[in-house]
Amino acid sequence: MDLTGSELFAGLMEALRDLTNPLVLKELAVIALALALGAFAAWLVNRRTAASPPSWQMGRGGLLRIVFPLVALLIVLLARRFMLHQGAHPLLDVAVPLLGSLALVRLTIYIVRRVFPPNAFLKASERFIGYAIWSLMALYIVGVLPYLTEFLNAISFTVGKQRISVFLILQAIVTVVITVVIALWIARAIESRAMGAAHWDVSLRAVFIKLVRVILLALAVLIALPAVGIDVTVLSVFGGALGVGLGFGLQKIASNYVSGFIILLDRSIRLGDMVTIDDRVGVVSQLNTRYTVVNSLDGTEAIIPNERLITGTVINHSLSDKRLLLRLPIHISYDSSLALALDLLTGIGRENPRTLREPQAGAFVTGFVENGIELELCIWIGDPELGQIQLRSELFVKIWEEFRDNGIHIPYPQREVRIIADAAAKPENQAKP
């Protein structure tokens, strides 16, 4: 038997006036038993699912939040069903919407927490959701909600053949927000599963996740609007306005989004790649649909529009092979042992822990110049994302120490100035001025 809010409130007040009534005491006992069994069921589910795999932890969190109010609600509904022949049961009638509201609040806040990152806005949203649901429930119980609904529905205007009221607008906003949040929650769950698929390429995973998110959001809007009685053909007007906006002011934004999908699909740039874009060298840390984030080796982050990655030149040090050749030039003097210097350089290069065994490090003579012999130590590294400055410093310090201990001299620019006497003597009989 369904009761209106005013009838619920009247029955509740009547029951509270006579707490010694056996039926009222029986209802209180049923509610207490329902709460106890709900708490026990939540404890049991928590214990049984504690060892669940990580991929199911997201669903486990939502289940633990709603199992208590749902089990209590089920028991109250069953008790109310069996107590119909005993007359009115106002306390049970009020407990049903309260427990349902508790389950709705808990589930909604859980979904919001899974969709949005922790911040001040999230905390404010949680408080707003709780206040809104409990306020609506209070208005329903005291019987004010139907009158408020009629008042908001009476304030309306017409757009073409569509009658739009304030209540319809609020209902559409709430429905769209709920469906979008649910769509984002599902997308987040799919994302966690997809990112755990190690056999997928990282770029393919990113493309799949973004496509799923776009499709779910579009479906959420297309489902929510007809659900509240709004014709989706009205969106054609907004589609035309969007087309005009793209033609005039949103060309770059649209180009960046299209470029983002192209980059993700052709896999020319992937997460973790070492790239050089203009004069910036760094590691790709994020691949978004509009921009790419590159972490430079000095700790700064560059937000680069995707269009620049498509139309410009990008040096990808990790496209097909992460190995990087590192060259260290060095000079020795002409009076030093060339063979010993080459052996020392080769040993220093091969002993460093970051040097790859294959290809092997080597030292070479690159030329004979004015101040000495030019040598070059060449080593291959497989982790260019860790940077080169520290490695170069370590190698140069080691070279300096080994050369010093083995009598290899590093020359510095020298100049010899020779004064040549004037061999042409002046004529003795040269006339004096």
On whether both 112 and 234 belong to a single domain, the answer is no
**d(C-alpha 70, C-alpha 82), whole Å:** 19
pLDDT tens for the chain, 433 residues long, are 455 555 555 555 555 555 566 776 777 788 788 888 888 888 888 777 766 555 555 555 666 777 888 888 888 888 877 765 665 666 777 777 778 888 888 777 777 777 777 766 667 777 777 778 778 777 776 667 777 888 888 887 776 666 778 888 888 788 888 888 888 878 877 777 776 666 666 666 777 777 788 788 888 877 777 766 666 665 665 566 666 665 665 677 777 878 887 877 777 788 778 888 887 888 888 887 788 888 887 778 888 888 888 888 888 877 777 788 889 999 999 889 999 999 999 999 999 889 988 888 999 999 998 888 999 999 998 887 777 888 889 999 999 999 999 999 988 776 777 787 665 555 555 555 4
**d(C-alpha 77, C-alpha 95), whole Å:** 9
**pLDDT on residue 1:** 45
On whether both 285 and 373 belong to a single domain, the answer is no
Total domain count, the chain:
4
On whether both 110 and 44 belong to a single domain, the answer is yes
Residue 278 lies in a domain: yes
Beta partners for 368? 373
CB neighbours of residue 407 within 10 Å: 10
On whether both 178 and 40 belong to a single domain, the answer is no
Burial class of residue 256 in the structure, from the number of CB atoms within 10 Å of its CB (0-12 exposed, 13-18 middle, 19+ buried): buried
On whether both 130 and 192 belong to a single domain, the answer is no
Residue 414 lies in a domain: no
Residue 416 lies in a domain: no
**pLDDT on residue 140:** 72
**pLDDT on residue 328:** 92
On whether both 58 and 138 belong to a single domain, the answer is yes
**pLDDT on residue 428:** 55
Tokens of 385: 């994302």
CB neighbours of residue 275 within 10 Å: 22
Residue 303 lies in a domain: yes
Residue 263 lies in a domain: no
On whether both 76 and 208 belong to a single domain, the answer is no
Widest CA span in the chain:
155
Q: Which H helix or E strand runs over 17?
A: helix 5-17
CA 311 from centre of chain:
26
**pLDDT on residue 41:** 84
Owner of token pair 């130590």? 377
Residue type, 255: S
**pLDDT on residue 296:** 82
Give just the sign of the alpha carbon dihedral 295, 301, 306, 312: negative
Strand ranges (E), 7-166: 156-159, 162-165
Range of the domain at 392: 324-405
How many helices (H) and strands (E) the chain has is answered by 13, 10
On whether both 168 and 213 belong to a single domain, the answer is yes
On whether both 239 and 190 belong to a single domain, the answer is yes
Residue type, 319: L
Tokens of 329: 């030039």
Residue 410 lies in a domain: no
On whether both 293 and 335 belong to a single domain, the answer is no
On whether both 63 and 142 belong to a single domain, the answer is yes
On whether both 50 and 82 belong to a single domain, the answer is yes
Residue type, 190: I
3-class DSSP state of 291: strand
